Amino acid sequence: MKVAVIGVGHVGLVTAATLAHFGHEVLGLDEDASKIESLERGVAPFYEPGLQDLLDEVLGSGKLRFTRDAARAIDGADCAFICVGTPARADGEANLLAVEKAALAVAGNATGDIVVIQKSTVPVSTADRLHLMFAKATIHNVRLVSSPEFLREGAAVEDSLNPDRILVGSDDPRAHELMKELYAPVLGDSCRYFEVDIHTAELAKHACNAFLALKISFANALARVCEASGADVDAVADIMGSDHRIGREFLNAGLGYGGYCFPKDLLAFKAVAGRLGYEFGLLEEVIKINRGALQAAVDKIKDALWNVESKKILLLGLSFKPGTDDVRESPSLNLARALTRLGANVVGHDPQANKFAVRELPGLQVVDDLYEGADGAHCIVICTEWPEFKDLDLVRLKGIVTLPIIVDGRNLLNEEAVVGAGFSYIPTGRPPVNL
Ligand code: UDX
């Protein structure tokens, strides 16, 4: 099939490359000149494991091309994916301006009947708006589909090539047939296919992200109680998780959830529920606990250092999670902001995200060599659980820091080894050791 993908960010680019890998003719459209220029040179504009190899393959075969010209992208397309950003407005509602713009580009440039697949995460009922808009803006028949993605950054290529589910919402039977054809290469025993109405698909995506965030906030609330009582939050999570009705995943306490999706999706879900007449107080609490998880880390650092002013604090990990260079809504950067406000001298190190961290937080000092950052530090904080931080040379670190204090915001390190090397260790969700 001939496919246009509008918006080649984290979701759109992986989707476009996967569809090209499955043999479709794909044109990726984006208005960001630097992104298109990088892709035309064959270089992925952000770090995502496996993406560069996949791009090499599909650019080599000619199945994937890029353009900034909407008419060229939409001309003759059987379907168009909308994969643009839906950031939060000040009142929490999703800002759907980019979705509207993408839909107008399809309407204005369609050369025949077309299937429009809305992949951006949007509030329930967005499809009604799009239906109305297409009815006015084009003479062609537009079959509208909501097919939210469940990609995790850092594992997006793997998730896209081997999805655990495909969700297709549409009120048009022919659209369902076409979508089955499009997704045929991934449909197998390990992938469940959900064929539902369009509102159910839209709502399901918000429900999934909100529930995952709820699990994380539950773990973070538990962490506070464990710290106060002497219990161990990871052991509690293991015990809970061994009950298959609960499941162990997303019960890791830490600095709270971040990233492009959860923070804005929680706000948008709460806002749309409120607009529909249901006050979703549970989501409010999830958001509040998430803020509290970061504040708990700030309090621990203050408590350990007494006066934070002018103390050097090294933050290890700046991306919102390991395996990505994405720093959007990163808890580490929020921690850097909070500590800087308190007068600390904050230095950051990340295996992939240093460049993007400085762009997001100008003035943040970053180091490529974490031992250089640790030199003279009064406190080291593990913010993101990059696997390489597990192998820190603790003896070397002990020799160069001013104060041997490690705050483990992700419970990554081995407590015995840290304490054995002479550090005070302040984990998450269990009492500090050697403080
Ligand atoms: C999420 C959803 O998982 C994915 O299905 C959806 O398509 C997009 O949003 P992503 O934002 O890539 O994916 O990250 P995810 O792995 O879900 O982690 C989100 C945040 O939660 C990260 O900051 C992570 O560190 C945090 N987290 C996750 C925890 O604090 N504890 C956990 O147990 C799990």
Q: Which of 325, 296, 301 is nearest to 315 (CA)?
A: 301
261 annotated active-site: yes
Strands (E), 9-138: 25-29, 64-67, 79-82, 114-118
Give residue-wise pLDDT tens across range 329-388. 999 999 999 999 999 999 999 999 999 999 999 999 999 999 999 999 999 999 999 999
10, 14, 153, 215: which to mutate for ligand 1, most atoms within 8 A of CB? 153
Q: Which of 327, 334, 379, 383 is nearest to 355 (CA)?
A: 327
Pocket lining: 250 vs ligand 1, CB cutoff 6 Å: yes
Pocket lining: 209 vs ligand 1, CB cutoff 6 Å: yes
Q: How far is the CA of 249 from the centre of ligand 1 (A)?
A: 10
Q: Which of 86, 122, 278, 117 is nearest to 205 (CA)?
A: 122
How far is Cα 367 from Cα 211, in angstroms, rounded to an integer? 36
Give residue-wise pLDDT tens across range 268-325. 999 999 999 999 999 999 999 999 999 999 999 999 999 999 999 999 999 999 999 9
Q: Is 177 exposed, middle or buried (0-12, 13-18, 19+ CB in 10 A)?
A: exposed
% pLDDT > 90, the chain:
98
Pairing of strands 405-408, 379-382: parallel
Ordered structural domains, the chain, with CATH: 2-196 (3.40.50.720), 206-286 (1.10.1040.10), 293-426 (3.40.50.720)
Q: How far is the CA of 250 from the centre of ligand 1 (A)?
A: 8
Tokens 């090539």, residue located = 161
Give residue-wise pLDDT tens across range 3-28. 999 999 999 999 999 999 999 999 99
Q: State which ligand 1 atom lies nearest to the alpha carbon of 155.
A: 12
